[in-house]
Amino acid sequence: MQVPSKPLQNAVQALGRVIRPRQSNPLLTHLWVQPRAEKVLVGGTDGEHDLVFSLPRLDLGGDEAAFCLPFATFGQFLANLGPDAIDLSRASEGLEVRSGKIRATFSLIGAEDYPDLLEPIDPRGELRVQAARLAELLEVEYAASREAYRGIFQGIQFEVRPAAPGGPARLRLVASDGYRLAYVEGEASGEAAPFVLPYRSSTLLKGLLGKGEGEARLELGRGKVRAHGKDYTATFKLLEGEFPDYHRIIPARGAATTVLEVPRAELMAVIRRLMPLAEGLYRRLDFQLNPEENTLVISCRNEYGQGVDQIAVTVAQLNPEATLAPMNGEYVLEALAHLGADTLEWEWNGLAPSALREASAVAVVVPLRV
């Protein structure tokens, strides 16, 4: 069988994020290959993530028995090949690989005991989202916890919001580590119950989506979700448990809230300048509003010095008793980096969680109490 070199190289490179060199089951350190009449399937798994790529077949052939190759050795060899098409053929001593003038033979084993990477998942819902937009939505993963003991906080919740009259449904992605929260929305079609995708799976899916064109299709099964793209099928195990009621954390705007309209880029620049002088582990920044001059003063200090800067803001709503509490500067900066509007609404109400808002996204940061 003959396959183009670049698609195979790209597929094997992506599979390197799934096929790990050390596995309790040695078979999972291999690359799974399934020749078919008009395409060749290559895939791998780590037990949590199953990933299969479909590659065009350049020669005429039929379905053949699947086999497995040692992934690490084959991947290193493949990465250094040129643009010539790659011929793969079985020989008595293993799999013969030819490309241009180079020829190599790899040991292979049967795939009878390899996990079924395309096993039906009993779909219970389906979502369709533009691939590029879903990749953007997955940026919300920045607010998810990276700590294994945090359970459900290690994931991103997907939920379908009811459509407005005459409009499309909205897909909302939510992430929180308990100290901050973020959600973002985008257009989608289909129906599915809420589910929580692990952070690592989200990162893998985002890499697959890239800046690709077209539509991504998500099938929700029992304890799994399967993503279908132009040339891949990826299946991810979901986190068990119920995502916390995050609506209680998002502050409701009322008369007691001070609301500022802030220039996002300018605020980010000020915080970046001050961060080297922010105190300790919590990277504390202090905020003070001067409503007479419409300025927000930002200051910090540590054992090496202190700094102060300010930006012009618009006071959309003022409660003189709603103090501006200190914040973790890194959390604020990361939230700003993942919002896109030029001007944001920033809501304050003392030591209650503070919210940065734009049209289709919200970032919430819990103030410091030290």
pLDDT of residue 370: 64
Per-residue DSSP letter, 254: -
Q: Are 148 and 155 in contact (CB under 8 A)?
A: no
Contact between 34 and 62 under an 8 Å Cβ cutoff? The reply is no
Between CA 34 and CA 339 the distance in angstroms is 43
**pLDDT of 65-80, one tens digit each?**
899 999 999 999 999 8
Q: Which residue has the tokens 């700003």?
A: 336
Structure tokens, 285: 């920044």
Domains (range + CATH), the chain:
2-110 (3.10.150.10), 125-246 (3.10.150.10), 250-365 (3.10.150.10)
Q: What is the distance between the alpha carbons of residues 237 and 119, in angstroms, rounded to a whole number?
A: 13
Rounded CA gap, 217 and 131, in Å? Answer: 9
Query: CB–CB of 88/42 below 8 Å?
Result: no
Quick one: pLDDT band at residue 355, thresholds 50, 70, 90? Answer: very high
* pLDDT score of 168: 77
Residue 209 contacts residue 131 (beta carbons within 8 Å):
yes
**Entry pTM:** 0.90
pLDDT over threshold 80, residue 220 = yes
In the prediction, which pLDDT does 211 show? 63
State the Cα angle at 4 between 39 and 82, rounded to 5°. Answer: 155
**pLDDT given at position 322:** 77
Average pLDDT over residues 296-309: 95
- First-to-final CA distance of the chain: 66
Task: Kindly report the number of other CB atoms within 10 A of residue 167's CB atom.
Answer: 9
In the prediction, which pLDDT does 64 show? Answer: 84
Query: Distance (Å, rounded) from C-alpha 244 to C-alpha 237?
Result: 19
286 within 8 A of 294, measured Cβ to Cβ: no
| % of the chain residues with pLDDT over 90 | 78
Average pLDDT, the chain: 92
Whether residue 147 has pLDDT greater than 80: yes
Give the residue-averaged pLDDT of 217-232: 94
Q: What are the pLDDT digits (tens) for 34-67?
A: 999 899 999 999 999 999 999 999 887 777 889 9
Residue 198 CA to residue 129 CA, distance in Å, equals: 19
pLDDT score of 123? 87
Q: Among residues 307, 308, 284, 306, which one has the least CA distance to residue 296?
A: 308
Q: Quick one: pLDDT band at residue 104, thresholds 50, 70, 90?
A: very high
Q: What angle is formed at CA 189 by the lines to CA 184 and CA 190, rounded to 5 degrees?
A: 115
Q: Give the pLDDT of residue 224.
A: 96
Q: What is the pLDDT of residues 197-207, one digit of tens each?
A: 999 999 999 99
